[in-house]
Structure 1
């Protein structure tokens, strides 16, 4: 088995693979102040809850956009599994040709998403990863990573709205029944959900105009299931995209 961990700004997503099959996926909050021991205990508890022994792993792999947490989590994983843990970054084989001005600037989460996409879906394709930020990545018909967009995430925008206005409350993301809200809470829900969905539809249209081709569109991330049903464009939701990419990268480097 392989232990795969994606460290994001808000959440850490943890998955376990056996023969390329995902056995479970769990989320915990990213805690920049936690020690390696604290992460070891959290990871051990998650494995035990899923009926898996920490001694059954042949290795592990990490994708991280939070450098201050990366080595702490790796230390925890290595202590728990007694195996070496890879970190996606320079020197790791991905099979991805990155056409950016500075390829080293590409986040490891977007690398993992792209590796999964080129191996599992028709190209050209667009990946939409909806987390603290919404990242949109584009791969052409030759499987080259062309670049993309970075947009403030839905919760980031919503938090900014409630913090900077004195009369707007904190709300849950319960989908509205209609676009035109008739009270403050429904207006906020409709505004944030429909505007986010519309921006995604619009960006996809503009990317395809620039490429001159129709793309496969895949969405992943914690907010995707809330937003994508409101998009007019056909979009595949793949909650496991990033972890699938980590598994493929691990197998290329083991």
Structure 2
């Protein structure tokens, strides 16, 4: 068994993978900038090798590895590659593509061998396109829903209050609502612009996937396990 770790900007996800590639139940927790503490709180079984996809910088990854090494002596951080399993990276410097984006594409391509669009809705809103030959066509990176709202409210003199009101996909009726609904409209607009003439599977992942899904066409599906499945699809040399 191998322990798979998806370390994102705000959340940490864990699953176990058997040799056949099947995943155990996925456990997720907000890490609040301290992934080692969040990892310990999830109580992963000790002794298994750990395969990690992290969006953090190298120094933070080294601190995380040091914190878990006593329980998991074998640790491997996965990086984006030029190609794998027939999927080809569009970046001239492949390692600069976010590993979470790469692994999500790898998982879906390995499963379907078909054209796809993957939208990851989290701190950032990322979109990646893959054609029917496995060529990554590139993508987009924009602020996520919360990031957009924080940027507007933090950079202006609007009087505003903290709110957890739902997104309605209609004009707002107070300052917070106007900013919130504009963030949703901007995200949906970018997604619709990108996929207007694209033919292929359409998948949403990330913490805000369920927020966006009701406002998109019926052919979109959510797949919260894609990054972990991408980790499972990477063959690690002994």
Is the TM value for this pair above 0.5?
yes
Question: 8 Å contact 2:80–2:102 — kept in the other structure?
Answer: no
- Give the drift of 1:93: 7.9
98, 104, 124: which one pairs with 1:107? Answer: 98
Residue 241, structure 1, aligned to residue 220, structure 2? no
- Give the drift of 1:219: 1.1
Give the stretch that moved more between structures: 155-164 or 191-200.
191-200
Query: What is the DSSP-based 3-state SS (H/G/I as helix, E as strand, rest coil) of the residue aligned with 1:202?
Result: helix
Give the stretch that moved more between structures: 226-235 or 130-139.
226-235
- The aligned runs of 1:1-254 (5 Å cut-off) are 1-8=1-8, 10-19=9-18, 20-31=22-33, 39=36, 42-47=38-43, 53-55=45-47, 57=48, 59-67=49-57, 68-82=59-73, 84-89=74-79, 94-95=84-85, 96-121=87-112, 123-166=114-157, 167-172=159-164, 174-176=166-168, 179-205=170-196, 208=198, 214-232=199-217, 234-249=219-234, 251=235, 253=237
TM-score between the two structures when normalised by the length of structure 2: 0.85
Question: 8 Å contact 2:120–2:206 — kept in the other structure?
Answer: yes
Q: May I ask how many residue pairs the two structures share in their alignment?
A: 232
- Give the drift of 1:253: 4.1
Query: What is the DSSP-based 3-state SS (H/G/I as helix, E as strand, rest coil) of the residue aligned with 2:167?
Result: coil
From the superposition, tell whether residues 115 and 184 of structure 1 become closer, same or farther in structure 2 (CA, over 3 Å): same
The Cα offsets for residues 14-55 of structure 1, whole Å up to 9 and x where unpaired, read as: 212243223222123252xx5xxx82x5423312xxxx5324
Structure 1 Cα separation of the partners of residues 39 and 95 of structure 2: 29
Unaligned runs of 5+ residues in structure 1 are 209-213
Question: 8 Å contact 2:119–2:126 — kept in the other structure?
Answer: yes
- Give the drift of 1:239: 0.8
From the superposition, tell whether residues 42 and 153 of structure 1 become closer, same or farther in structure 2 (CA, over 3 Å): closer
Question: 8 Å contact 1:97–1:145 — kept in the other structure?
Answer: yes
From the superposition, tell whether residues 66 and 223 of structure 1 become closer, same or farther in structure 2 (CA, over 3 Å): same
From the superposition, tell whether residues 90 and 112 of structure 1 become closer, same or farther in structure 2 (CA, over 3 Å): closer
Greater helix share, structure number: 1
Query: What is the DSSP-based 3-state SS (H/G/I as helix, E as strand, rest coil) of the residue aligned with 2:50?
Result: strand
Counterpart for residue 211 of structure 1? none
Aligned-pair Cα RMSD in Å? 2.5
Structure 2 Cα separation of the partners of residues 157 and 42 of structure 1: 26
